[in-house]
Structure 1
Amino acid sequence: MPQKVFITSLGCPKNLTDAEVMAGRLTAAGFELTADESEADIALINTCAFLNSAIKESEAEIKRFSSLKEHGKLSKIAVTGCLVEREKNLLLKKFPQIDAVVGINALDRITSALNGDTNYILPATLPLAAPKFKTRLTAPHTAYLKIADGCDNRCSYCAIPMIRGGYRSKPIADVVVEAGNLAGSGAREISLIAQDTTSYGMDLYGKPMLHELLKELARIPDIKWLRLLYIYPDKLSSDLLKLMRDEEKICNYLDMPLQHISDDILKKMNRRSTEKSIKAKIAAIRKLIPDMALRTNFIVGFPGETEKDFTKLLKFVSGTGFDNLGVFTYSREAGTPAAKLPDQVPETLKTARMNELIAAQSRIIDGINTGLIGKTVKVLMDSGSFGRTCRDAPDIDGTVEVITNAISHKPKAIGKKTRKAYGLKPMANGSAGSSPAPKAGDFMDVKITGATGYLRRGTTI
């Protein structure tokens, strides 16, 4: 009987794609994956270690599964991911119940490690190899595609270069094959990810090649939406923006972490951007693509952040109108240059500033929602009742609750209150109609009838 493996993947989508590679290796080697940890013989914990909070979460999971093993409910524990790279073999001393550790550059050795061969922590290699095996861990209709790993930007607060090494791209041909395989397994939406997607190809071709890669990916018939995450603002070219404008498969959506707007803080962060360049970039984007959806992240409480710096950031957010925004308090990461900076901001002040910035963004969203009411948008269904527009990435952005005049077998009554909430006209017989019920992966035309925060509501046309 094959051994059953339960995989838990913590952290970002880039980590999830690593878990999918290991899942593919395991199934090819005869292991069986299970979504029920109580059925598992083996637990594979794919850890995150980007921030101290992520390290704590990863260690808590290791402790939890170690307890299960001690009580005879697991035979083996494997730990993979960023925490392995950060702590190396110290993990085995800290958690003796671990049977195997596998670093992020040795994903193809996971089966050997589980079979008791050895532990694998290998240095980063160039170029980044496309996976020979991959088992999807997301819903069939949407997928993440990692086009590069590592980072050369050296932001002063970030531990990623220490964990994942220098920037390494996958060859264009390999990415296209991988995307075709994802489309063949049902993916209609593909989100391209890397630490910095705009640097794609620099290491292999001597110049950025994201523009060329997107043109190749857009030729794959079954892919309907291509989404760009982790865009570095200063590397976003006008050619790339023009392609986004002209190619209907590329979502008018940019995930472009800015981190701050104060020049003093940006300099301490070792970011190339300035207040002037950021504002000019946003203006250029909106001039070329007026309906571009912009997502960004900001860090508050960075060492030396004054009230003046924060007020400038607050004013910038209030006046820019980002569609989606994430706010993080600065985390002092060992080994990073920022950890040694003076004037560390108290945790209570960091939290207060984060809450104030989130409140400002909430007011922005109220205005955006008002402008959406009455508009018809294309929605990719994530289930029979909820979906997303091209302006919302999976897992991190808003959703649309969809009510349809649909039935699966027989008419379904819709009450007066529900009809009123969704802007539906009364029906004489109270029936819901008879069009096919939507399912995950379907594209629907939806008229927006209401919204609360990042949850919109609408009816099918």
Structure 2
Amino acid sequence: MPDSYWLTTLGCPKNQVDSDKLVGHLQAQGLAASPSPEQADLVVVNTCAFIEAAREESVDTVLALARARRPGARLVVTGCMAERYGDELARALPEVDLVAGFGVPVALSSKPSAGGVLPPSVSRFDLLELPRPPASAPWAYVKVAEGCDRRCGFCAIPSFRGKQRSREPASVLAEVDALGVREVVLVAQDLASYGRDLGRPRAIIDLIAAVAHEVDRVRLLYLYPSSLDDALVAAVLATEVPYFDLSLQHVSRPLLARMRRWGDGTRFLARIRAIRAREPEAALRSSFIVGYPGETEEDHDQLLAFLEDAQLDWAGFFAYSAEEGTWAAGLDGGVAPGLMAERMDECAELQDRITANRRAELVGRRIEVLVDAPGVGRSHREAPEIDGVVQLAGKLRVGELAQVVVTGSAGPDLEAEAILGSGAGLAPATFDAVAPARAAG
């Protein structure tokens, strides 16, 4: 039997793409996927280091897998924690055989130097450009750039992911074609800035159109609000997937200035209303930091008022985490953890009500869904893994695009029944063999 691997992925969609690339790399070495970590010859953890809670989860996962692995199996830690804390992590976790930062190959036979970290002489490999296996679902994330040139006060990502480095469009399109999916979700740390490092400041618009020519759906995650101009809005609407994920973080102008970010609630509302005026079916998502140093009750009240006015379809809230090496780590005006938790609860309670109401308004409507799994689909309003889903009654095959009628709602989720004969081309139950549908034009 061939040697086998087990890979656990933590963190954001961009990490999931990196893991897919690692899977392709390991399979090219002749390793096969293991049914469990206990049976694997190589156990890999792709870690997250974005905030303290993510780091704690990463360490807990590594320790759990160290206990679970069979005798003689190698344990490798890679990803953001490995890059950010390489030597320190290797010393703190003697259970780990190798700490592999970005560009360090992960392999069953890799030999670490003293301390468990590969030396600089090891040839680097580029996860951004590595091939990946065909998708096992009818959708996939595609990372179009690595790193970030912005310097938001709370974010440590540029310190270990580096400056923005965009892929050439041909490389992105080749990956899209190889994945064989019906929906592509484009991701990057600063997606709207794709191509600026290549001297093409509006390359994202051309890329959206090119990807839309290859698949049925194109979705964008993580759009910086100052970059969302009329041309980019038009490019998104032209794909017929009117979904806008705006990285707003807050709405108080003084607090956003302390975050080293652009904008305020008035500007954000104007942009949201302009989008909905052009496309009433547009879905909008954002994320917000609660408890950033200096956040006052007035700032918090502004955020609550904005949520009520904006009526976003989806929103996530994150408690501020002081990150070593960031500008915000040295700011005064820290918010007490108890007060931060109260503000988080207020925001979440309000947004849950808004989301539930917006979902209930869809009852009785006819919508198109992509069937992700048996009995589960998504319309243009739901991004995979982070938003609600559409629970489907009726025999619809995985990978099918079908018209359904919404019959009910339950919080973030919808219930729907298939309209007989409405499928936009049947797909087999095993999606791996499905070629991507081609858009006209």
One-letter identity of the residue aligned with 2:218: L
CA drift of 1:121 comes to 7.6
Aligned to 1:87: 85
CA drift of 1:457 comes to 0.6
Cα contact 1:88–1:121 (8 A) shared by 2: no
Match of 2:184 among 170, 182, 190: 190
Cα contact 2:218–2:239 (8 A) shared by 1: no
Match of 1:147 among 144, 149, 161: 144
CA drift of 1:267 comes to 0.6
Unaligned runs of 5+ in 2: 420-441
Aligned to 2:54: 54
**Does 305-314 or 282-291 show the bigger shift?**
282-291
Aligned to 1:421: none
Tell me the secondary structure at the aligned position of residue 89 of structure 1.
Answer: helix
Q: TM-score, normalised by structure 1?
A: 0.86
Q: Calculate percent identity across the aligned residue pairs.
A: 36
Which structure 2 residues correspond to residues 285-324 of structure 1 after superposition, within 5 A? 285-324=275-314
Please say if 1:438 is aligned against 2:396.
yes
Query: How far, CA to CA, are the matches of 2:363 and 2:286 in structure 1?
Result: 24
CA drift of 1:283 comes to 2.4
Q: TM-score, normalised by structure 2?
A: 0.90
Please say if 1:18 is aligned against 2:18.
yes
Query: How far, CA to CA, are the matches of 1:121 and 1:253 in structure 2?
Result: 44
Aligned to 1:209: 203
Provide Cα deviations, 1:399-436, integer angstroms capped at 9, x if missing partner. 111112xxxxxxxxxxxxxxxxxxxxxxxxxxxxxxxx
Tell me the secondary structure at the aligned position of residue 15 of structure 1.
Answer: helix
Cα contact 2:406–2:415 (8 A) shared by 1: yes
CA drift of 1:61 comes to 1.2
CA drift of 1:23 comes to 0.9
One-letter identity of the residue aligned with 1:253: Y
Tell me the secondary structure at the aligned position of residue 110 of structure 1.
Answer: coil
One-letter identity of the residue aligned with 2:263: S
Aligned to 1:229: 221
**C-alpha spacing 1:121/1:188, structure 2 compared with 1 (3 Å):** farther
Cα contact 2:82–2:101 (8 A) shared by 1: yes
Instruction: Spell out structure 1 runs of 4+ moving beyond 6 A.
Output: none
CA drift of 1:335 comes to 1.3
CA drift of 1:229 comes to 0.3
Query: How far, CA to CA, are the matches of 1:233 and 1:242 in structure 2?
Result: 15
Cα contact 1:50–1:159 (8 A) shared by 2: yes
Aligned to 1:378: 368
Computed over aligned residues only, the root mean square deviation of the Cα atoms, in angstroms, reads: 2.1
Query: How far, CA to CA, are the matches of 2:65 and 2:155 in structure 1?
Result: 29
Please say if 1:110 is aligned against 2:106.
yes
Aligned to 2:173: 176
Query: How far, CA to CA, are the matches of 2:61 and 2:314 in structure 1?
Result: 30
Provide Cα deviations, 1:142-191, integer angstroms capped at 9, x if missing partner. 100000011111110011111211111001111111111112xxx11110
> How many residues are aligned here?
415
CA drift of 1:120 comes to 4.4
Which structure 2 residues correspond to residues 301-380 of structure 1 after superposition, within 5 A? 301-380=291-370
**C-alpha spacing 1:264/1:74, structure 2 compared with 1 (3 Å):** farther
Aligned to 2:407: 449
Query: How far, CA to CA, are the matches of 1:181 and 1:122 in structure 2?
Result: 32
Query: How far, CA to CA, are the matches of 1:46 and 1:134 in structure 2?
Result: 16
Cα contact 1:41–1:73 (8 A) shared by 2: no
Query: How far, CA to CA, are the matches of 2:102 and 2:159 in structure 1?
Result: 12
Unaligned runs of 5+ in 1: 405-436
Please say if 1:164 is aligned against 2:161.
yes
Query: How far, CA to CA, are the matches of 1:439 and 1:40 in structure 2?
Result: 32
Please say if 1:277 is aligned against 2:267.
yes
One-letter identity of the residue aligned with 1:273: G
One-letter identity of the residue aligned with 1:281: R
Cα contact 2:86–2:100 (8 A) shared by 1: no
